[in-house]
Amino acid sequence: MKLDRIDIKILYELQKNGRITNVELAELANLSPSPCLMRVKKLQAAGYISGYSALINIAKLGQTFTVFTEITLKNHRQIDFARFLATMEKEEAAVECHLISGGYDYLVKFVTSGIAEYQTMMERLIDMDIGIDKYFSFVVLKTPIARSHMPLTSLFPV
């Protein structure tokens, strides 16, 4: 499926507000409601839309502790990366995991209830012998900018 500017606009608007009505979405995409709905269904069927979720204001629920952790593995065989990733996929506190070029292998964003929970989790991960050689922790003090949407219209101008 080749996307045009209208498809990109639909995706852009849906990622900003997944609860937007079809009528409102059609207006923003300069379409009538029926063709807009057909495009959304095609985008879903083609896998461009992988799901819908709610953005939770975590600060309203209570205090959290966010840490970016640089992780270096002991070995760099495919099996070592696979073992580490399999563990990270099961670790709910790991909300993002990126394979990075440069001086370390992974950058992982952990969100826990506090520093004690983070340290306990890291000790458990080390004890699991999943190949972690060393790690460095960077505690988030404040997050002045956190976007939940990608700049689709500037990344993919059509």
Task: Answer whether 93's CB lies under 8 Å from 112's CB.
Answer: yes
- The answer to whether 122 and 139 have CB atoms below 8 angstroms apart is no
pLDDT above 80 for 158? no
pLDDT in tens, 105-132: 999 999 999 999 999 999 999 999 999 9
| 17 phi, psi to nearest 5 deg | -150, 95
Amino acid at 77: R
| Sheet containing 65-73, strands listed edge to edge, beginning at the edge strand earlier in sequence | 94-99, 106-112, 65-73, 132-139
Q: What is the pLDDT of residues 33-91, one digit of tens each?
A: 999 999 999 999 999 999 999 989 998 999 999 999 999 999 999 999 999 999 999 99
The pLDDT of residue 121: 98
Tokens of 87: 């563990």
Structure tokens at 43: 């985008």
Q: What six digits make up the tokens of 63? A: 């205090």
Rounded to the nearest angstrom, the gap between the alpha carbon of residue 137 and the centroid of all alpha carbons in its chain is 19
The predicted structure's pLDDT at residue 1: 84
